[in-house]
């Protein structure tokens, strides 16, 4: 038994959360669960997952382009150089989620990510992907999808050790799903499995 639903528009089986609205379908079909590498690219995902905490992912998806513009394309080097004036500018930007703690965390996380490049870790991408679990079969039902795993707990601890904020185990696991470290598309979802 699966929780996948069929889309009325195209007849394709999707994970239930990815069936509607269209912005979810596009994200589900083309991006979620696909490998993302690169320090700036992963910094964007860490940042967006932190902003999503306590909110619907739909809110973040709808504001994603505004976030990219407000945070200089999530360039670690640029965001790490932000000042108090930049934080105030962000707090006044109605296009993004205006949460003082999350904005401060994003700037602090950029500084932490910038410092990683000069360490034995090698960078944010290397650190994050070093916690990728072994591949497993896709879950059959939504109830089979965990919210936290030993790997997400370990990743959360490692990120916090390096100065990151708003990166608890649940947030870390959501990011692991989003960037393709785990494949939590349901077994009968139409999105092809990675080779």
> Per the domain annotation, does 53 fall within a domain?
yes
- Residue 32: Cβ-neighbour burial (10 angstroms; 0-12, 13-18, 19+): buried
Domain assignment present for residue 144? The answer is yes
101 annotated as a binding-site residue: no
Residue 68 counted as domain residue? yes
Catalytic residues, which ones?
27, 49, 57
| 28 marked among binding-site residues | yes
* pLDDT per residue as tens, the chain (195 positions): 467 676 767 889 999 999 889 999 999 999 999 999 999 999 999 999 999 999 999 999 999 999 999 999 999 999 999 999 999 999 999 999 999 999 999 999 999 999 998 788 889 999 999 999 999 999 999 999 999 999 999 999 999 999 999 999 999 999 999 999 999 999 999 999 987
φ and ψ of 6, to 5 deg = -90, 135
192 located within any domain = no
Domain containing residue 115: CATH number? 1.10.340.30
Tell me whether residue 141 is in a domain. yes
pLDDT score for 4: 66
pTM of the predicted structure, to 2 decimals: 0.94
Confirm or deny that 15 is annotated as ligand binding. yes
Cβ atoms of 126 and 41 within 8 Å: the answer is no
Specify if 188 maps to a domain. no
* Residue 152 forms part of a structural domain: yes
Closest CA to 103 of 184, 48, 37, 33: 48
Q: How many domains does the chain have?
A: 1
Q: Which residue, 177, 173, 180, is CA-closest to 195?
A: 180
User: Could you tell me if residue 113 is inside a domain?
Assistant: yes
pLDDT of residue 83: 98
- The CA distance from 18 to 23, in Å, is 9
Residue 38 falls in which region: left (phi positive, over 0), alpha (psi -120 to 50) or beta? left
Structural domain boundaries enclosing 56: 16-178
The gap from C-alpha 75 to its chain's centroid, in whole angstroms, comes to 16
Are the CB atoms for 130 and 159 separated by under 8 Å? no
pLDDT for res 8:
65
Residue 195 marked as a ligand binder: no
């Amino acid at each position: 038994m699966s929780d996948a639903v069929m889309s009325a528009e195209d007849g394709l089986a999707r994970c239930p959360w990815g069936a509607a609205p269209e912005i979810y379908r596009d994200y589900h079909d083309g991006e979620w669960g696909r490998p993302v590498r690169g320090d700036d690219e992963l910094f964007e995902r860490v940042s967006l997952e932190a902003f999503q905490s306590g909110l619907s992912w739909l809110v973040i998806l709808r504001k994603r382009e505004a976030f990219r513009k407000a945070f200089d394309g999530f360039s670690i080097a640029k965001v790490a150089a932000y000042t108090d004036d930049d934080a105030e500018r962000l707090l006044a930007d109605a296009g993004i989620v205006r949460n003082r703690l999350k904005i401060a965390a994003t700037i602090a996380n950029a500084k932490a990510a910038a410092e990683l490049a000069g360490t034995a870790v090698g960078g944010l991408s290397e650190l994050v992907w070093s916690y990728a679990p072994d591949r497993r079969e896709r879950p059959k039902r939504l109830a089979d999808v965990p919210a936290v795993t030993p790997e997400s707990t370990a990743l959360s601890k490692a990120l916090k050790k390096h100065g990151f904020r708003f990166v608890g185990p649940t947030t870390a696991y959501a990011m692991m799903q989003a960037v393709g470290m785990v494949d939590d598309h349901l077994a009968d979802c139409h999105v092809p499995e990675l080779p």
